[in-house]
Protein backbone atom coordinates (compact mmCIF):
# COMPACT_ATOMS: atom_id res chain seq x y z
CA UNK A 1 0.00 0.00 0.00
CA UNK A 2 1.11 3.59 -0.57
CA UNK A 3 2.68 5.76 2.16
CA UNK A 4 4.86 2.86 3.31
CA UNK A 5 2.16 1.73 5.73
CA UNK A 6 -1.18 -0.03 5.90
CA UNK A 7 -3.86 2.54 6.65
CA UNK A 8 -6.88 1.25 8.57
CA UNK A 9 -9.85 3.59 8.83
CA UNK A 10 -11.74 3.55 12.12
CA UNK A 11 -14.40 5.35 14.11
CA UNK A 12 -15.92 5.33 17.58
CA UNK A 13 -19.39 5.98 18.89
CA UNK A 14 -19.27 6.95 22.54
CA UNK A 15 -21.38 7.95 25.53
CA UNK A 16 -20.56 11.62 24.91
CA UNK A 17 -17.89 14.04 23.78
CA UNK A 18 -16.16 14.38 27.15
CA UNK A 19 -12.85 12.87 26.07
CA UNK A 20 -11.43 12.13 29.56
CA UNK A 21 -14.61 10.35 30.67
CA UNK A 22 -16.65 8.90 27.81
CA UNK A 23 -16.83 5.20 27.06
CA UNK A 24 -17.19 3.39 23.76
CA UNK A 25 -20.51 2.02 22.50
CA UNK A 26 -19.34 1.06 19.00
CA UNK A 27 -15.85 0.47 17.58
CA UNK A 28 -15.54 -0.07 13.85
CA UNK A 29 -12.76 -0.24 11.27
CA UNK A 30 -12.13 -1.14 7.66
CA UNK A 31 -9.10 -1.78 5.47
CA UNK A 32 -10.04 -2.48 1.87
CA UNK A 33 -12.73 -5.18 2.29
CA UNK A 34 -11.70 -6.30 5.78
CA UNK A 35 -14.28 -5.05 8.28
CA UNK A 36 -14.26 -4.91 12.08
CA UNK A 37 -17.35 -3.95 14.05
CA UNK A 38 -18.17 -4.47 17.72
CA UNK A 39 -20.59 -3.00 20.24
CA UNK A 40 -19.83 -2.62 23.93
CA UNK A 41 -22.10 -1.89 26.88
CA UNK A 42 -20.67 1.25 28.49
CA UNK A 43 -20.14 1.50 32.22
CA UNK A 44 -21.02 5.20 32.12
CA UNK A 45 -24.37 6.80 31.43
CA UNK A 46 -24.99 7.83 27.83
CA UNK A 47 -25.43 11.59 27.55
CA UNK A 48 -28.93 12.60 26.38
CA UNK A 49 -27.47 14.36 23.33
CA UNK A 50 -25.55 11.20 22.40
CA UNK A 51 -28.76 9.18 22.75
CA UNK A 52 -30.57 11.61 20.46
CA UNK A 53 -27.89 11.52 17.81
CA UNK A 54 -26.70 7.91 17.86
CA UNK A 55 -29.83 6.08 19.03
CA UNK A 56 -27.91 4.04 21.63
CA UNK A 57 -29.60 3.38 24.96
CA UNK A 58 -28.99 1.00 27.86
CA UNK A 59 -31.88 -0.79 29.54
CA UNK A 60 -31.56 -3.50 32.20
CA UNK A 61 -27.86 -3.83 31.46
CA UNK A 62 -28.40 -4.34 27.72
CA UNK A 63 -27.42 -2.08 24.83
CA UNK A 64 -30.06 -1.06 22.31
CA UNK A 65 -29.70 0.74 18.99
CA UNK A 66 -32.91 2.52 18.08
CA UNK A 67 -34.83 0.16 20.39
CA UNK A 68 -33.30 -2.98 18.89
CA UNK A 69 -31.00 -4.95 21.13
CA UNK A 70 -27.45 -5.42 19.85
CA UNK A 71 -24.96 -8.05 20.92
CA UNK A 72 -22.13 -6.59 22.97
CA UNK A 73 -18.66 -7.58 24.12
CA UNK A 74 -16.98 -6.43 27.34
CA UNK A 75 -14.74 -3.51 26.46
CA UNK A 76 -11.54 -5.39 27.32
CA UNK A 77 -12.46 -8.13 24.83
CA UNK A 78 -13.51 -5.59 22.21
CA UNK A 79 -10.14 -3.87 22.47
CA UNK A 80 -8.26 -7.18 22.43
CA UNK A 81 -10.16 -8.35 19.35
CA UNK A 82 -9.42 -5.00 17.71
CA UNK A 83 -5.69 -5.46 18.25
CA UNK A 84 -5.96 -9.00 16.86
CA UNK A 85 -7.75 -7.61 13.80
CA UNK A 86 -5.05 -4.98 13.25
CA UNK A 87 -2.32 -7.60 13.70
CA UNK A 88 -3.42 -9.33 10.51
CA UNK A 89 -2.26 -6.46 8.31
CA UNK A 90 1.34 -5.98 7.15
CA UNK A 91 3.03 -3.34 9.27
CA UNK A 92 3.55 -0.61 9.94
CA UNK A 93 -0.15 0.07 10.56
CA UNK A 94 -1.64 3.55 10.80
CA UNK A 95 -5.12 4.19 12.19
CA UNK A 96 -7.00 6.96 10.40
CA UNK A 97 -10.02 8.77 11.82
CA UNK A 98 -11.74 12.08 11.25
CA UNK A 99 -10.65 14.30 14.17
CA UNK A 100 -8.36 11.54 15.45
CA UNK A 101 -5.99 13.83 17.32
CA UNK A 102 -8.58 15.55 19.49
CA UNK A 103 -11.09 12.74 20.01
CA UNK A 104 -10.79 9.19 18.66
CA UNK A 105 -7.12 8.64 19.47
CA UNK A 106 -7.28 10.06 23.04
CA UNK A 107 -10.40 8.03 23.89
CA UNK A 108 -9.02 4.82 22.44
CA UNK A 109 -5.60 5.36 24.02
CA UNK A 110 -7.07 6.04 27.45
CA UNK A 111 -9.08 2.82 27.46
CA UNK A 112 -6.18 0.77 26.12
CA UNK A 113 -4.09 2.15 28.97
CA UNK A 114 -6.80 1.32 31.51
CA UNK A 115 -6.82 -2.34 30.52
CA UNK A 116 -3.03 -2.61 30.19
CA UNK A 117 -3.24 -3.11 26.43
CA UNK A 118 -1.34 -0.02 25.34
CA UNK A 119 2.05 -1.71 24.88
CA UNK A 120 0.53 -4.55 22.88
CA UNK A 121 -1.37 -2.04 20.74
CA UNK A 122 1.79 -0.01 20.21
CA UNK A 123 3.58 -3.09 18.88
CA UNK A 124 1.01 -3.23 16.07
CA UNK A 125 0.02 0.38 15.41
CA UNK A 126 2.67 2.98 14.58
CA UNK A 127 0.46 6.05 14.65
CA UNK A 128 -2.80 7.88 13.98
CA UNK A 129 -3.76 9.84 10.87
CA UNK A 130 -6.16 12.75 11.36
CA UNK A 131 -8.24 13.11 8.19
CA UNK A 132 -9.99 16.23 9.50
CA UNK A 133 -6.63 17.99 9.55
CA UNK A 134 -5.80 16.41 6.20
CA UNK A 135 -8.97 17.85 4.64
CA UNK A 136 -8.08 21.33 5.86
CA UNK A 137 -4.61 21.04 4.36
CA UNK A 138 -5.84 19.67 1.04
CA UNK A 139 -8.86 21.95 0.75
CA UNK A 140 -8.46 25.07 2.90
CA UNK A 141 -11.51 27.24 3.37
CA UNK A 142 -10.14 30.11 1.31
CA UNK A 143 -10.08 27.80 -1.72
CA UNK A 144 -13.60 26.50 -1.12
CA UNK A 145 -15.67 29.32 0.45
CA UNK A 146 -18.37 28.05 2.78
CA UNK A 147 -17.17 24.44 2.62
CA UNK A 148 -17.39 22.57 5.92
CA UNK A 149 -14.87 19.95 6.96
CA UNK A 150 -17.17 17.50 8.74
CA UNK A 151 -17.00 14.00 7.30
CA UNK A 152 -20.64 14.14 6.22
CA UNK A 153 -20.10 17.44 4.38
CA UNK A 154 -16.92 16.22 2.70
CA UNK A 155 -18.52 12.99 1.54
CA UNK A 156 -21.41 14.93 0.03
CA UNK A 157 -19.07 17.52 -1.52
CA UNK A 158 -16.69 15.05 -3.17
CA UNK A 159 -18.68 11.83 -3.55
CA UNK A 160 -22.22 13.17 -3.78
CA UNK A 161 -23.43 10.67 -1.17
CA UNK A 162 -25.36 10.90 2.09
CA UNK A 163 -25.05 8.46 4.99
CA UNK A 164 -25.73 7.93 8.70
CA UNK A 165 -22.93 9.94 10.30
CA UNK A 166 -23.65 8.44 13.74
CA UNK A 167 -22.86 4.87 12.73
CA UNK A 168 -19.19 4.06 13.35
CA UNK A 169 -18.98 1.43 10.62
CA UNK A 170 -20.58 3.73 8.04
CA UNK A 171 -18.17 6.49 9.02
CA UNK A 172 -15.13 4.24 8.62
CA UNK A 173 -16.35 2.95 5.26
CA UNK A 174 -17.09 6.41 3.89
CA UNK A 175 -13.79 7.75 5.21
CA UNK A 176 -11.87 5.06 3.34
CA UNK A 177 -13.84 5.83 0.17
CA UNK A 178 -13.18 9.56 0.54
CA UNK A 179 -9.46 9.04 1.21
CA UNK A 180 -9.15 6.83 -1.87
CA UNK A 181 -10.90 9.50 -3.92
CA UNK A 182 -8.51 12.18 -2.69
CA UNK A 183 -5.37 10.04 -3.15
CA UNK A 184 -3.28 12.43 -1.02
CA UNK A 185 0.49 12.39 -1.37
CA UNK A 186 2.68 10.85 1.31
CA UNK A 187 3.82 14.36 2.23
CA UNK A 188 0.33 15.42 3.29
CA UNK A 189 -0.35 12.16 5.10
CA UNK A 190 2.87 12.46 7.09
CA UNK A 191 1.93 16.04 8.01
CA UNK A 192 -1.16 14.78 9.87
CA UNK A 193 0.28 11.56 11.35
CA UNK A 194 0.92 11.29 15.10
CA UNK A 195 3.02 8.41 16.32
CA UNK A 196 1.98 6.15 19.18
CA UNK A 197 5.46 6.10 20.70
CA UNK A 198 4.92 9.58 22.11
CA UNK A 199 1.21 10.29 21.56
CA UNK A 200 -0.10 8.95 24.84
CA UNK A 201 2.65 10.39 27.03
CA UNK A 202 2.25 13.85 25.51
CA UNK A 203 -1.54 13.89 25.50
CA UNK A 204 -2.54 11.85 28.55
CA UNK A 205 -0.04 11.25 31.28
CA UNK A 206 -0.81 8.17 33.31
CA UNK A 207 -3.52 8.81 35.92
CA UNK A 208 -3.86 12.45 34.87
CA UNK A 209 -7.47 11.81 33.80
CA UNK A 210 -10.07 9.36 35.06
CA UNK A 211 -10.12 6.19 32.98
3-state secondary structure 56-122: EEEECCEEEECCEECCCCCHHHHHHHHHHHHHCCCCCEEEEECCHHHHHHHHHHHHHHHCCCHHHHH
pLDDT of residue 196: 78
| 204 located within any domain | no
Is the pLDDT score of 211 beyond 70? no
DSSP SS3 for 44? coil
| 102 located within any domain | yes
What's the structural domain count of the chain?
A: 1
Q: Which has the closest alpha carbon to 105: 81, 130, 80?
A: 130
Helix (H) / strand (E) element for 37: namely strand 34-39
Q: What is the largest CA-CA distance in the chain?
A: 51
User: How do residues 66-103 score in pLDDT, each as one tens digit?
Assistant: 999 999 999 999 999 999 999 999 989 999 999 999 99
Q: What range defines the domain where residue 58 resides?
A: 2-193
Q: What is the pTM of this model?
A: 0.91
DSSP line for 153-202? HHHHHHH-----TT-HHHHHHHHHHHHHHH---HHHHHHTEEEHHHHHHH
| 23 located within any domain | yes
pLDDT of residue 106: 93
pLDDT of residue 198: 60
| 63 located within any domain | yes
Identify the bridge partners of residue 151 per DSSP, sorted by sequence position. Answer: none
User: How do residues 31-73 score in pLDDT, each as one tens digit?
Assistant: 999 999 999 999 899 999 999 999 999 999 999 999 999 999 9
Residue 160 belongs to domain with CATH number: 3.30.420.10
Question: Is 41 in contact with 63 (CB distance < 8 Å)?
Answer: yes
| 138 located within any domain | yes
| 210 located within any domain | no
| 205 located within any domain | no
Is the pLDDT score of 30 beyond 80? yes
Pairing status of strand 193-195 against strand 6-14 = unpaired
Top pLDDT among 140 and 50 is at 50
- Prior bond to 35 cis, omega within 30? no
| 45 located within any domain | yes
Amino acid sequence: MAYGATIVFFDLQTTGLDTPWCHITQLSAICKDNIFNVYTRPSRLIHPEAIRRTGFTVNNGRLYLRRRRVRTKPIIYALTFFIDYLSKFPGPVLLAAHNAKKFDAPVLSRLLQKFSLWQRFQQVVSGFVDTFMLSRKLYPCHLNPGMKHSLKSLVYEFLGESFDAYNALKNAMMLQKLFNFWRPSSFYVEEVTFFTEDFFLKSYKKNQYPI
